[in-house]
A and B are shown apart, each in its own frame.
Chain A
């Protein structure tokens, strides 16, 4: 997956712009509740923990661990050929702070649950997709 693929991109809205544009600053960004510190994803105008509305955008470290994954072999999207690895990764900033993403930079057969990964952005115009690659190259 080194060359850029023909991906379906997200529709950018005021609610999600921080997430999809954050890669321009090299940052993986989420909403975070100011009073209680809860990271909020997907974005919501109210903190799901303390119900406060005082919410700001903040960057995380970009490190993560693979919770689960699948190697997709079925061609679903024209211009986006299999095989590729889809994963759910969890960020160390908070239990349950997760993303669906792709694991890149290694062979699909080398991906493992609990593997340490770090974010790498793939730019499509103004949209920066957060993908993840192994923390240590195999």
Chain B
């Protein structure tokens, strides 16, 4: 049996800045709002934080993709760090949190502050975001992976993920009427979340008549760029017992990527890296999908959440469409409540960390009007699409 050090990690603190469209706020200020809130929520002092982790780190991407890096936060809070790690080359956005779990379990740090900040809405408002790498001006040449996509106008993950969805439609008969329920369910839950961006009702007719972005995706299949920061404190479980909030433990993580690390060369075009991360997670726990009370699964595009549902075994491969159709099974009172805060589709693109935040909120019973009934004890948080994928299984101790 492999050692499973992540079981010695716990989520002890949650913090989130104001989240909104066009805030035009200093992204570092948003980051520090979230970080200080998380430290306080854990019942810790700034001096207790001896580790930092983030995705994707400073200076990666453009258009508001990265609001702050490790050095920014260490400097601002004058932290004395024993361990830190920030960067994009990990198992998706939550790979940074998985790293933090291992750091505390290995005794490299006691309390790791993890954060993710975006200001894509304000950047878009300032005219700085179109497709990835697009709008860079005359003379710009595509390099690295982008050389294989940008010359063909495949400028956005909307295009790349749409091609996975199209292949899924082809192989399994999945339809837009089925896929719609990922978006409709998110909107239904967002109506109960005061911090969500889009809270007005959305109907199947609205969805089907929306303008197309990249077939089979319409506007409502794509998440909404926002400004905001989410922070999470990961502590070694033995140090977490006396902290303020109910203890949430990490039961298992999934970080695997066995297929090719590419948006267009991955072997199976109906699933993505999340297949491998999901498979690994279930090899590290005796819990089963039927034990999970709530699932917060990345929906940067609607199809990604459907692919996570299949990969994690909430339904069989290829049966995601019929599984979500009608929205009953994935509703707050359903067999697997999904994206209870509204997901990125309706609550805003906090880029992965929003799902983990909501999973912990639900396990603590702090979700207010959107609280899953029956005092959930086991939650799944998962983030990433394409070649990115990482997931955590959490339990209330």
- The answer, yes or no, to whether B156 is at the interface (CB within 8 Å) is yes
Indicate if the CB atoms of B152 and A73 lie closer than 8 Å: no
Cβ of B283 under 8 Å from chain A: no
A96 to B215, CA, bound (A): 23
Residues 2 to 24 of chain A near chain B (Cβ within 8 Å): 5, 7-13, 16
B134 in contact with A113 (CB, 8 Å): no
Q: Closest residue to B154 on the A side, CB-wise?
A: A86
Chain B residues 254 to 272 lying within 8 A of chain A, measured CB to CB, are: 264-265, 267, 269
Docked-complex contact A76 and B155, CB < 8 angstroms: yes
User: A102 in the interface, Cβ–Cβ < 8 Å?
Assistant: yes
Q: How many A-B residue pairs have CB under 8 A?
A: 119
Q: Quick one: which of A11, A78, A98 contacts B264, CB cutoff 8 A?
A: A98
**Most chain A beta carbons < 10 A, residue from B140, B148, B170:** B148
Interface range, A side: 35 or more
Docked pose: A77 CA to B151 CA in angstroms = 10
Q: How far is the CB of A92 from chain B (nearest CB, A)?
A: 17
Chain B residues with CB below 8 A from A9, complex form: 141-142, 151
Report whether A7 and B153 are in contact in the complex, using a CB–CB cutoff of 8 Å.
yes
| CB contact list, B147-165 vs A, under 8 A | 147-156, 158-159, 162-164
B376 at the interface (CB under 8 A from A): no
Within 8 A of B (CB), among A37-81: 41-42, 67-78, 80
Decide yes or no whether B126 CB sits under 8 A from chain A. no
Q: Once the chains bind, are B134 and A77 in contact (CB under 8 Å)? A: yes
**Which partner residue on chain A sits nearest B213 by CB separation?**
A74
CB-based contact B212/A71 at 8 Å: yes
Please, which residues of chain A bring their CB within 8 A of the CB of B145?
Answer: 42
Cα distance A78–B264 in the bound complex, in angstroms: 24
Q: A116 at the A/B interface (Cβ < 8 Å)?
A: no
Known: A71-B215, A76-B155, A86-B159. A100 touches B149 (CB 8 A): yes
Instruction: Decide if A77 touches B141 in the complex (CB within 8 Å).
Output: no
Contact A70 B166 (CB under 8 A): yes
Bound Cα distance from A10 to B152, whole angstroms? 10
A120 at the interface (CB under 8 A from B): no
B158 contacts across to A, CB distance below 8 A: 74
Query: Does B214 count as interface, using CB distance less than 8 angstroms?
Result: yes
Q: A7-B151, A42-B148, A101-B152 are in contact. Are A86 and B163 (CB under 8 A)?
A: yes
Other than the known A42-B148, A69-B166, A96-B267, what 16 A-B pairs have Cβ atoms closer than 8 Å?
A7-B152, A41-B265, A68-B163, A70-B159, A73-B213, A75-B130, A76-B155, A77-B134, A77-B155, A84-B153, A86-B153, A86-B154, A86-B159, A87-B163, A101-B152, A102-B153
Could you list which residues of chain A lie within 8 angstroms of chain B, going by C-beta atoms?
5, 7-13, 16, 41-42, 67-78, 80, 82, 84, 86-88, 96, 98-102, 113, 127, 129, 131
